[in-house]
Amino acid sequence: MKEKKQIYLDYQATTPCDPRVVEKMMPYLSELYGNAHSRTHDHGWQAEQAVERAREQVAQIINASPKEIIFTSGATESNNLAIKGVAEFYKDKKKHIITCKTEHKCVLESCRWLERNGFDITYLDVETNGLVNLNTLKKAIRPDTLLVSIMAVNNEIGVIQPLAEIGKICRENGVFFHTDAAQAVGKIPIDVEAMQIDLLSISGHKLYGPKGIGALYVRRKPRVRLVSQISGGGQERGMRSGTLPVFLCVGLGEACAIAEKEMATELEKIQELSDRFQAKLEEKLPQIYLNGDAKQRYPGNLNISFAHVEGEGLMMGIKNLSVSSGSACTSASLEPSYVLKSLGVDEELAHTSLRIGIGRFTTKEEVDQAAEDIIAAVSHLREMSPLWEMAQAGIDLKSIQWSGH
Amino acid sequence: MAYSEKVIDHYEKPRNVGSLDSKDQHVGTGLVGAPACGDVMKLQVKITDDGRIEDAKFKTFGCGSAIASSSLITEWIKGKTIQEALEIKNKDVAEYLELPPVKIHCSVLAEDAIKSAIKDYQSKQEGKV
């Protein structure tokens, strides 16, 4: 087989660090090595200045104040700190938290940890389009509800939750609103004031910044208190101890600044590529289904089920495309994705899904090549699929007594 | 996860893909697995009157290891007697294809498919008498 150029279409897993970001970070990996917490000399002051500049850049992209930004190691830590930290501070007053079933594992696991430690957690179902039902949310709120944690953009299916509406409901009920915005910041406009968000998690490497850094926005008015989850020197206003990695902070700041400036044009480009890709697939392949709401979504995330073709088998046929499989057969567990399951996607269809991520550096040529390769692989595998053969013969697959294993 | 060269070879050049006439008295069909589990194998064998497998075809919905396992067994059972085919164990398939532990179930499915196809043939033959 002739070697094809590898095409990266997994922007939800991670994004390449923008070369402009790398350039800004370099001095802080060499001559500017000061500790930002050294208050007594020039090396320290220079580092501090760089960190504070970065904090402003991060704050600006979500319309917050720099004083409300806490640097962390990434969105996983931010989500842990937001949920466990707030719970710990207010545990004597309120003991109920609401989240939803399609959240990232780090949110769900933080909630499960709290559940084991005396909290009540409500895991909301989502509609078949992947969105939270606002009435269900309202009904779930109790007098002792402390926090609602609902993500902004879903990492598997790309749907955008109604943040402003959720924020409004939370504020009216005196409940804190946390959102895991790892897949949203830098991709779609986020405004913590307009959306009445109290806590918000950011990840550096999902917005063309470096890995190993993230941030947590913690509202000051009305003030949200939390208990630090790492003991130490009391950096980051006592909320997150540890010496700041200056070069990573600078990288995250620059990534935010670039994203803020280029978001509108970038989003437009990604929408075009996404539409083009989807149209090409739909033209050639019958029985493919987009998972999650067709409109209320980030266009750079397409999760598609290709009926009667198993996802992992499909990925093997498109080895030149770096995409992700919703079948999750590639991971240690053979269970299909819990997110697709929550949407009520048939288990069979869940096994046939791919997540295709389109981002800043994706080109039209890459999208065309990817569509061509996927069409060829799906057509080939359908010819080899007993399910496709049966479906073509008009046999209802649900009527068959499957043996399982 | 890295696939062995043998899995890749069978995935890229699957042997004996296709279907035989399931109504033919000499054809046995085995359909094993379930769509909800992510693997379904259909194996068909055409057996001569003296009990030899003269042809075998498969279609598989599943991962690369499942496709390779079914492709491999069609190659192995062709020309064998019923008895010889039934002696093929999942362990042989797994070892030959160097399947990792998480993919052993693919070879189990392949063994089940052989048994199921032959059983179908045998019940057809018994019905004839």
Distances (CA, A) of B40 to A130, A356, B76, B101, B123: 28, 25, 20, 19, 22
pLDDT at A400 over 90: no
CA distance B38 to B43: 17
Q: What is the DSSP letter of A69?
A: E
Tell which of A315, A318, A327, A351 to mutate to test the B interface (max B CBs under 10 Å).
A351
Amino acid B129: pLDDT = 55
Residue A234 Rama label (left phi>0; alpha psi -120 to 50; beta): left
Nearest to A133, CA basis, from A142, A141, A124:
A124
- Contact residues on chain B for A388, CB-CB shorter than 8 A: 61
CA distance A102 to A341: 9
pLDDT in tens, A189-236: 999 999 999 999 999 999 999 999 999 999 999 999 999 999 999 999
The alpha carbon dihedral of A274, A276, A280, A286 has a sign of positive
The answer to whether the beta carbons of residues A363 and A311 sit under 8 Å apart is: no
Q: Specify the residue for token string 């094809």.
A: A4
Amino acid A347: pLDDT = 87
pLDDT at A398 over 90: no
Amino acid B78: pLDDT = 96
pLDDT at A396 over 60: yes
- Contact residues on chain A for B35, CB-CB shorter than 8 A: 347-348, 351, 387, 397, 402
List the structure tokens of A388: 């496709």
Residue of chain A nearest B14, judged by CA positions: A384
Q: DSSP states of A305-347 as a string?
A: EETTS-HHHHHHHTTTEE-EETT-TTSS--PPPHHHHHTT--H
Amino acid A77: pLDDT = 98
Q: Are strands A120-124 and A96-100 parallel, antiparallel or unpaired?
A: parallel
Nearest to A25, CA basis, from A278, A247, A281, A257:
A247
- Sheet containing B53-61: which strands, arranged edge to edge? B27-34, B39-47, B53-61
pLDDT band at A155 (very low <50, low <70, confident <90, very high): very high
pLDDT at A404 over 70: no
Q: Specify the residue for token string 């850049």.
A: A57
Amino acid A240: pLDDT = 97
Amino acid B7: pLDDT = 95
Amino acid A330: pLDDT = 47
Residues of chain B with pLDDT under 70: 1, 129
pLDDT at A1 over 60: no
- Interface residue B1 vs chain A (CB under 8 A): yes
Amino acid A294: pLDDT = 96
Q: Are strands A301-306 and A321-322 parallel, antiparallel or unpaired?
A: unpaired
The answer to whether the beta carbons of residues A182 and A204 sit under 8 Å apart is: no
Domains and CATH numbers, chain A: 7-13+263-388 (3.90.1150.10), 19-259 (3.40.640.10)
State which amino acid sits at residue A124. L
Q: In whole numbers, what is the pLDDT of chain A averaged over residues? A: 95
Residues in chain A: 405
The answer to whether the beta carbons of residues A165 and A136 sit under 8 Å apart is: no
Amino acid A291: pLDDT = 97
Amino acid A329: pLDDT = 47
pLDDT at A324 over 80: yes
Maximum alpha-carbon separation in chain A: 79
Q: Kindly report the CATH class assigned to B5-123.
A: alpha beta
Strand partners, B45: B28, B56
List the structure tokens of B58: 């498969």
- Interface residue B29 vs chain A (CB under 8 A): no
**SS3 letters across A210-250:** CCCCEEEEECCCCCCCCCCCCCCCCCCCCCCCCCCCHHHHH
Nearest to A215, CA basis, from A64, A78, A42, A343:
A78
- Contact residues on chain A for B8, CB-CB shorter than 8 A: 316
Active site residue A329: yes
Query: What mean pLDDT do residues A320-333 have?
Result: 71
List the structure tokens of A200: 């918000």
pLDDT in tens, A74-120: 999 999 999 999 999 999 999 999 999 999 999 999 999 999 999 99
CA distance A332 to A229: 30
CA distance A190 to A62: 5
Of B38, B40, B105, which has the smallest distance from its Cβ to A386's Cβ?
B40
Q: Which residue has the higher pLDDT, A62 or A404?
A: A62
Q: Specify the residue for token string 């194998």.
A: B41
pLDDT in tens, B75-92: 999 999 999 999 999 999
Cβ neighbours for A58, distance < 8 A, ≥ 6 positions apart = A66, A69, A202, A215, A252, A253, A256
Q: What is the DSSP letter of A94?
A: -
CA distance B74 to B63: 17
Amino acid A4: pLDDT = 78
Q: In whole numbers, what is the pLDDT of chain B averaged over residues? A: 94
pLDDT at A326 over 70: no
- Interface residue B75 vs chain A (CB under 8 A): no
pLDDT band at A310 (very low <50, low <70, confident <90, very high): very high
The answer to whether the beta carbons of residues A205 and A14 sit under 8 Å apart is: yes
Strand partners, A100: A124
ipTM for the predicted complex: 0.93
Amino acid A348: pLDDT = 87
CA distance B47 to B51: 6
3-state helix, strand, coil in chain A (%, to 5): 40, 15, 45
Amino acid A87: pLDDT = 98
Residue of chain B nearest A401, judged by CA positions: B34
Nearest to A20, CA basis, from A203, A253, A183, A189:
A253
pLDDT band at A333 (very low <50, low <70, confident <90, very high): low
